[in-house]
Structure 1
């Protein structure tokens, strides 16, 4: 191990992984510091990637040369496109993944990068001179770095809760926490917040009565996340749906006095859009049942994750209420749910590059910035890694704005508005979502990724070819004519109309299904996109106006 690196990444969750890979692929030497090497790539919560608003983030990360989409494609055991009954602008990919395979593919991706070294240890302090980061202290040893990216996740002064019992840790069975790192940030003058998240119990699938449950299958054929994945090879398996009931709710209400959430033991602000079951029952007393999605954790394990019943109630209470649910009457609980509090740096103290305003060359990414979710963390990690590398090379920063990517909306919201609760991405947060779709993430971002050295020429040429073919097809449709009653209009104009499908106007063979589908979406949205582009132009002009002092 050297004593000096270009970039030091602290923490090896989704943010840290993407930061390290981006920095290394841009030619920087990277040290990835983590408590436990064997846990790199471990999914702390549910075994799934993507979802509404989140699938778009994963597609954009992939378009910028990130790894999360490729890992998901390799480890995926069920793929679905959510919102498929709605317009293409809100189609959102989601995949169940094999937890163990996800970890292995992640670790293999890091091993392939010769510029990355991994060190086990605790970062106990930051070396700062003249408001510039110079390195870190790891277990008493100073290691110098031109840039430092902090991605500690829930390990930043983490505290776990089961009932009224509390204990330090960033994840179950991992009691080490970054308390000294949190104290270092406070001493440097950063304003801090305290947030709370939680996770569900884990069940032995051999003790679940699946005859009482409804199977939920994925899409056939499964659609990959990554633009470089052609097909999904792994066996696909279903999830299962059941529900809580009034007896479940009764047991929980009777035991709220032992809930850390309702007795003041937990003081951190929780996730509004992913509340614990006890929180749902208190806030929505008129609901007589809540969904429970039983998600398989892999092909070679019997463990299931019961999405929808996150809890921090005591073990004996979890035993009681879980076994009131249909199909779970005799379930064996392999691990109990718990809540976790962790420290957060108030994110308006960051630049759009995710560099801190106080300390130059210090970057923050992931839950330390107040977000929740694998995808939000990975997106920030990628941007922090790119910008750390660019700054070291004295090149212009890379900033995505609200008009160019979901990632831009995420970072703009955090750095300009801040957040008083764990931030989750939704399609509804994105004003220009008709422009920023999953299907065109590569068209929007591949050129930039190629210039940054994050994707190779073959990938960029493939996207250029797709773009050219789309333009050719659209031109053909603008030149082709069709007679309708008293009018003769172009095929392009005809396709804009509701209910008209491109398959009825274009013969197969010349263009790929992907090109035809993307061209159709572009044409269908073209009147609205034209209006949006006009708004964006006006916005750009307003941004140039200088306000007198």
Structure 2
């Protein structure tokens, strides 16, 4: 049978989420050249990090699977920015690379509504500006009412080792050779991006005694509330570049694919190659590098922060300038990869193409970078592909609801000129959109959409009720005449210490629920202010800017003024989404509008 409701092209992190959520409602074909690569982690063996963990928590709350896979295969968990406020605290989970892929493939293969088809997609088939299926490179036709493209770095992919060029979407894997042309023929604008990956080192060739140990969280943390027995089984370490590293790279930039002129496409600003770091940050005499195991039973070490497009013989020399790596042996060399992407302004926030009804896309094909960004887009694209196939309304998530909405808004409304990475700094309401309250923000939506069942919905509601009751108890209880909530706001106090004064709760709370009670009380003033700001923005979202002379607006940045004069947005809401327009510029505009 070659007729389906939804076709998902690609089995990476976007494809897994797209296929899984679409299969809740429809018959899905997952098309991939090699099913053994489902759920591969081609770059770092980790999930999470600033801005990214928030996406994973939201994805889990919505009914996605990345958090489950990450927790099942975790070998090290660490809360980043732990010394800072909850708005920027982010979980990063180190995973067993091979185990993650095994679990992901098992999840897909065990789903009765998903059929895996081993093939390369060659072209899109359409009729009356609607997608009707795809054709494969070996001449087969697969029909469906909607298609989700999750092609990663495979669209016309080329990998570079110095000046050596190979057609590939990943090391040792053929690219998608024909699909780019089919997209152009259906009216889509494409451009080229670049990314890269570090070398993999033989662990028995590294002197770990001179490296700085990076301890895991104790107890281990998780995305889903469930940790596995190995979640704190392995440490990670730190090393750094040296002046010898820098001199070697500077003296050989002409051999780099990037600096030698072979690659002119844009790479990721927030994950630069080691060549980029040396060139762009000449004032630094060292760059930190994370040394991460690929698993508990593998000999490979991943060197985060050392991606490169220099040739292998130079990589051998570079590695041996690092402390602890004087005798290091590279098992797999670093490389850069160039690939085609769709301009994401050609999409709706539902991830459907504006040029071809029923065509959706997610992940690196949309210009984003990172597993987590891909998975989040895959979920939205897969859900809407099923909705479209079944004649239902398409859905999305607004910017004021969470990191999902911020990313969708950034990609679709602003567009991008470099690989997009989610950061906490992109979210103007990050104190409201914390990783600890993702369920509070997303569960109602998930239940409405049918992506979680009633049992889970009621379980989350009960948890939220327990948190609310405990906050109320703290706001009413006193110790030596002082409210418990006021005592908890002191820097030296925490939830447990105040319970020692006022007594434990009559209801049983989980560790997560206790953490949330503490956050809601300690940061109440800031949360309330952020909420008032959000509500104010929503009220003024549609306020007209017709007839405004931006030169007359006081206290506006030059960059913001120039952008507003160039674009001339119709409303205050449209203005606040423009790149280069700051929150302070919007405040200045609001003051000006009120004074008219």
TM range (shorter): over 0.9
Q: Using the TM superposition, give the Cα deviation of residue 467 of structure 1 relative to its aligned residue in structure 2, in angstroms.
A: 0.9
The residue that corresponds to 2:72 in the other structure is: 74
Alignment of 1:217-232 (within 5 A): 217-227=215-225, 229=226, 232=229
Q: Using the TM superposition, give the Cα deviation of residue 388 of structure 1 relative to its aligned residue in structure 2, in angstroms.
A: 1.5
Q: Using the TM superposition, give the Cα deviation of residue 490 of structure 1 relative to its aligned residue in structure 2, in angstroms.
A: 3.6
Q: Which runs of 5+ in 1 are unaligned?
A: none
The residue that corresponds to 1:425 in the other structure is: 422
Moved more, 392-401 or 375-384: 392-401
Distance (Å, rounded) in 2 between the aligned partners of 1:461 and 1:121: 42
Q: Is the 8 A contact 1:162 1:313 kept in 2?
A: yes
Q: Given the alignment, which residue of 100, 107, 125 partners 1:102?
A: 100
Distance (Å, rounded) in 1 between the aligned partners of 2:26 and 2:17: 14
Q: Using the TM superposition, give the Cα deviation of residue 265 of structure 1 relative to its aligned residue in structure 2, in angstroms.
A: 0.3
Q: Which is bigger in relative contact order (C-alpha 8 A, separation at least 6)? A: 1
Q: Given the alignment, which residue of 333, 338, 341 partners 1:336?
A: 333
The residue that corresponds to 2:364 in the other structure is: 367
Distance (Å, rounded) in 2 between the aligned partners of 1:346 and 1:108: 33
The residue that corresponds to 2:188 in the other structure is: 190
Q: Using the TM superposition, give the Cα deviation of residue 539 of structure 1 relative to its aligned residue in structure 2, in angstroms.
A: 2.8
Distance (Å, rounded) in 1 between the aligned partners of 2:492 and 2:208: 40
Residue 16, structure 1, aligned to residue 15, structure 2: yes
Q: Is the 8 A contact 1:3 1:142 kept in 2?
A: yes
Q: Is the 8 A contact 1:39 1:103 kept in 2?
A: yes
Residue 503, structure 1, aligned to residue 502, structure 2: no
Q: Is the 8 A contact 1:223 1:232 kept in 2?
A: no
Residue 357, structure 1, aligned to residue 350, structure 2: no
> SS of the residue aligned with 2:79?
strand
The residue that corresponds to 1:55 in the other structure is: 53
The residue that corresponds to 1:415 in the other structure is: 412
Q: Is the 8 A contact 1:199 1:311 kept in 2?
A: yes
Q: Using the TM superposition, give the Cα deviation of residue 504 of structure 1 relative to its aligned residue in structure 2, in angstroms.
A: 3.4
Residue 389, structure 1, aligned to residue 382, structure 2: no
The residue that corresponds to 1:123 in the other structure is: 121
Q: Using the TM superposition, give the Cα deviation of residue 502 of structure 1 relative to its aligned residue in structure 2, in angstroms.
A: 2.9
Distance (Å, rounded) in 2 between the aligned partners of 1:232 and 1:417: 43
1:108-160 superposed Cα distances (whole Å, 9 cap, x missing partner): 11122110011111110001112111111112222111110001010011110
Q: Using the TM superposition, give the Cα deviation of residue 497 of structure 1 relative to its aligned residue in structure 2, in angstroms.
A: 4.9
The residue that corresponds to 1:311 in the other structure is: 308
Moved more, 187-196 or 5-14: 187-196
Q: Which runs of 5+ in 2 are unaligned?
A: 547-569, 571-596
> SS of the residue aligned with 1:539?
helix
> SS of the residue aligned with 1:467?
helix
Distance (Å, rounded) in 1 between the aligned partners of 2:111 and 2:543: 45
Moved more, 235-244 or 537-546: 537-546
Q: Using the TM superposition, give the Cα deviation of residue 398 of structure 1 relative to its aligned residue in structure 2, in angstroms.
A: 2.1
> SS of the residue aligned with 1:149?
strand
The residue that corresponds to 2:273 in the other structure is: 276
Q: Using the TM superposition, give the Cα deviation of residue 233 of structure 1 relative to its aligned residue in structure 2, in angstroms.
A: 4.3
Distance (Å, rounded) in 2 between the aligned partners of 1:411 and 1:505: 41
Q: Is the 8 A contact 1:49 1:374 kept in 2?
A: yes
Distance (Å, rounded) in 1 between the aligned partners of 2:431 and 2:180: 40
Distance (Å, rounded) in 2 between the aligned partners of 1:290 and 1:312: 18
Distance (Å, rounded) in 1 between the aligned partners of 2:523 and 2:130: 47
Distance (Å, rounded) in 2 between the aligned partners of 1:124 and 1:206: 43
Q: Using the TM superposition, give the Cα deviation of residue 394 of structure 1 relative to its aligned residue in structure 2, in angstroms.
A: 2.8
> SS of the residue aligned with 2:249?
helix
Q: Is the 8 A contact 2:206 2:327 kept in 1?
A: yes
The residue that corresponds to 1:326 in the other structure is: 323
The residue that corresponds to 2:484 in the other structure is: 491
* Aligned residue pairs, count: 541
Q: Is the 8 A contact 2:72 2:227 kept in 1?
A: no
Distance (Å, rounded) in 1 between the aligned partners of 2:471 and 2:336: 52
The residue that corresponds to 2:153 in the other structure is: 154
Q: Given the alignment, which residue of 474, 482, 491 partners 1:477?
A: 474
The residue that corresponds to 1:145 in the other structure is: 144
Moved more, 505-514 or 522-531: 505-514
Q: Using the TM superposition, give the Cα deviation of residue 498 of structure 1 relative to its aligned residue in structure 2, in angstroms.
A: 4.4
Distance (Å, rounded) in 2 between the aligned partners of 1:106 and 1:270: 28
Q: Using the TM superposition, give the Cα deviation of residue 538 of structure 1 relative to its aligned residue in structure 2, in angstroms.
A: 2.8
Q: Using the TM superposition, give the Cα deviation of residue 258 of structure 1 relative to its aligned residue in structure 2, in angstroms.
A: 1.0
Q: Is the 8 A contact 1:73 1:232 kept in 2?
A: no
Q: Using the TM superposition, give the Cα deviation of residue 284 of structure 1 relative to its aligned residue in structure 2, in angstroms.
A: 1.2
Aligned CA distance change for structure 1 residues 289 and 352 (closer, same or farther; 3 Å): same
TM-score of the superposition, structure 1-length normalised? Answer: 0.95
Aligned CA distance change for structure 1 residues 453 and 230 (closer, same or farther; 3 Å): farther
Q: Is the 8 A contact 1:222 1:232 kept in 2?
A: no
Residue 348, structure 1, aligned to residue 341, structure 2: no
> SS of the residue aligned with 1:156?
coil
TM-score of the superposition, structure 2-length normalised? Answer: 0.88
> SS of the residue aligned with 1:133?
strand
Alignment of 1:459-478 (within 5 A): 459-478=456-475
RMSD: 1.7
Q: Is the 8 A contact 2:216 2:232 kept in 1?
A: no
Q: Using the TM superposition, give the Cα deviation of residue 425 of structure 1 relative to its aligned residue in structure 2, in angstroms.
A: 0.6
1:407-426 superposed Cα distances (whole Å, 9 cap, x missing partner): 11011000000110000011
Aligned CA distance change for structure 1 residues 546 and 360 (closer, same or farther; 3 Å): farther
1:251-282 superposed Cα distances (whole Å, 9 cap, x missing partner): 11111111110121012101111111111111
